[in-house]
Amino acid sequence: MSRDTQDRFAAALLDRESPVPQGLESWTGTAPPRRFAVYRNNVMQGLIGALASRFPATEKIVGRDFFTAMADAYIGKHPPRSPVLLTYGEDFPDFVAGFEPAAGLVYLPDVMRLEAARSRAYHAADAEPLTAATFAAIPTPRLSDLILTPHPSLAILRSAYPAVLIWAMNSGKAEPAPLTAWPAEDALVVRPHMLVEVHRLPPGGAVFLQALADGLTLGCAVEAALGDAPAFDLSQNLAGLIRSGGFISLRLEEPANAC
């Protein structure tokens, strides 16, 4: 098959309105349009299934019919670039953010970003997290020069909505209930051992962990966190950091003055 034929075949697969690609024949000589329609439907169902298995809470929130229609619209505009579908749908949340029928669900793209981060964490490389003992052994005067290496699975998400709680209520982690408050929520996603974990972060926590993940020193990360949230509680955040297993190695930077 020539490159040109393949391109036309692929394009026709994702566009229901397009006719059967030119030159396509069935060996029995009958009804290529009908057979092609079956194949096209199978391809779409497969891709919709791949998205549904990556975004189960999203499917639960909007319902199967809505999800299928939304996925259908996405697939037409963003067909997979790889035969491996593990990371397919990376930009599905961004697509949904601009998808008119879902505009009323303002929190939905953030819930989807959380789900996408969870599956990335699931497939990230294994690494042994730092233990509390390692932190306890750092010479005190050098603490502010500490630089940490993030776990390969680590991701930090910020939402203007209670995206973590909504995700938890729709994935069996929390009892579904009416939301009485509508706070912004930040999340840490990490897979320290075998299971992907989602932690809701305290004030300033997202900026703190992101600064550390970006390679800033502990001293600079604390400054950044305090700038973001004056209520930043260092002890609470350090305990959360160590408990989460989100970092895998440490070193001490040569003392520097500026952040």
Partner 1 sequence: MNKSLASLALAGSLATALTTLAAPAASAADAKEKCYGIALKGQNDCAAGPGTTCAGTSKIDYQKNAWKLVPTGTCETMKVPGGMGSLMQGPAPV
Q: Which of residues 56-85 bind partner 1 (CB under 8 A)?
A: 84
The DSSP secondary-structure symbol of 102 reads: G
Q: Which of residues 193-212 bind partner 1 (CB under 8 A)?
A: 193-195
User: Pick from 223, 114, 230, 217: which is nearest to 162 by CA?
Assistant: 114
How far apart CA 44 and CA 57 sit, in angstroms, is: 21
Is the Cβ of residue 24 or residue 138 nearer to partner 1 in the bound state? 138
Is the Cβ of residue 133 or residue 177 nearer to partner 1 in the bound state? 133
* Residue 231 touching partner 1 (CB under 8 A): no
User: Pick from 105, 128, 124: which is nearest to 58 by CA?
Assistant: 105
Residue 115 burial (C-beta neighbours within 10 Å; 0-12, 13-18, 19+):
buried
The DSSP secondary-structure symbol of 160 reads: S
The window from 2-10, 91-99, 102-110, 242-250 that contacts partner 1 (CB under 8 A) reads 242-250
Tokens representing 99 are 């998808």
Is the Cβ of residue 14 or residue 226 nearer to partner 1 in the bound state? 226
Near partner 1 by CB under 8 A: residue from 16, 64, 123, 173: 123
The window from 14-22, 93-101, 106-114, 136-144 that contacts partner 1 (CB under 8 A) reads 136-144
Is the Cβ of residue 12 or residue 241 nearer to partner 1 in the bound state? 241
* Residue 236 touching partner 1 (CB under 8 A): yes
Q: Residue 133 in 3-state DSSP? A: helix
Is the Cβ of residue 29 or residue 83 nearer to partner 1 in the bound state? 83
Near partner 1 by CB under 8 A: residue from 222, 224, 246, 247: 222
Q: Residue 179 in 3-state DSSP? A: coil
Is the Cβ of residue 16 or residue 123 nearer to partner 1 in the bound state? 123
* Length of the chain measured in residues: 259
Q: Residue 234 in 3-state DSSP? A: helix
At residue 181's C-alpha, the angle toward residues 179 and 186, to 5°, is 95
> What residue ranges bind partner 1 (CB under 8 A)?
53, 84, 86, 123, 131-133, 135-136, 138, 140-144, 193-195, 218-219, 222-223, 234-236, 238-239, 241-243, 245, 255, 257
